[in-house]
Copies of this chain bind each other. A is one copy, B any other.
Amino acid sequence: MSSKPYAHRASRIDSQRAAQLREEISAFHGEYCSVLDRGDLEQWPLFFTEDAMYRITGRENADLDLPVGLVYCEGRAMMHDRAVAIARTQMFAPRYNLHMIGLVRVEAEEPNGILAQTPFLLIQTLVEGPSTVHLAGCYHDRFVRVDGQLLLAERHVIHDTNILANDLVYPA
């Protein structure tokens, strides 16, 4: 085992700049989750670029670098369709969603965007039921700046929790 300090391996970005970006990305996550937790699904695609990629996949798939996943959307139009479908299922099986966001880790700031990872929990509560951890995982994001504000160009929602493939899973 090397005794090389941990940070020299992990950091591909200046620590002051990383702090700024962490703050900005945290603010983004706060708005994003607020929209989802209020059930305001039609606003969800607006957090992405027009041609963004959104994917939900298990950690096992991600570790094997498999492109497959539970959910795959390319572009806002596909996300919009998905949002409509989910809004419909919510009418039949109502539940409350609450996203808890962990610490943002900025990996790199590159010409094609900012790479960041953020752990999250999606807590679900069925009517008359307790609150449980529905999904635990980590966002692997690529952000770009459009008119000064951050938008997601890519979000890979990589979950630890085992979920059924036919589940119309709520956006994370």
Q: Which residues of A contact B (CB under 8 A)?
A: 1-7, 9-10, 15, 18-19, 22-23, 26-27, 29-35, 37, 42-43, 45-47, 50, 59, 76, 80, 96, 98-105, 117, 119, 121, 123, 125, 127-133, 135-138, 146-147, 149, 151, 160-162
Contact = CB atoms under 8 A, between A and B. Distances in A.
Contact of A160 (B32, B98, B121): B98
Contacts of A22: 23, 26-27, 30
Contact of A105 (B19, B31, B162): B31
How many chain copies?
Answer: 3
Contacts of A146: 5
Given A22-B26, A33-B103, 20 more contacts: A1-B80, A3-B76, A5-B46, A5-B147, A6-B35, A9-B43, A19-B23, A22-B23, A22-B27, A30-B102, A30-B105, A31-B105, A37-B119, A96-B136, A98-B136, A100-B119, A121-B131, A125-B160, A130-B133, A130-B162
Contacts of A137: 98
A64 to B, nearest CB: 14
Main secondary structure of the interface of A (DSSP, over half): mixed
A50 to B, nearest CB: 8
B121 A100 contact: yes
A65 to B, nearest CB: 14
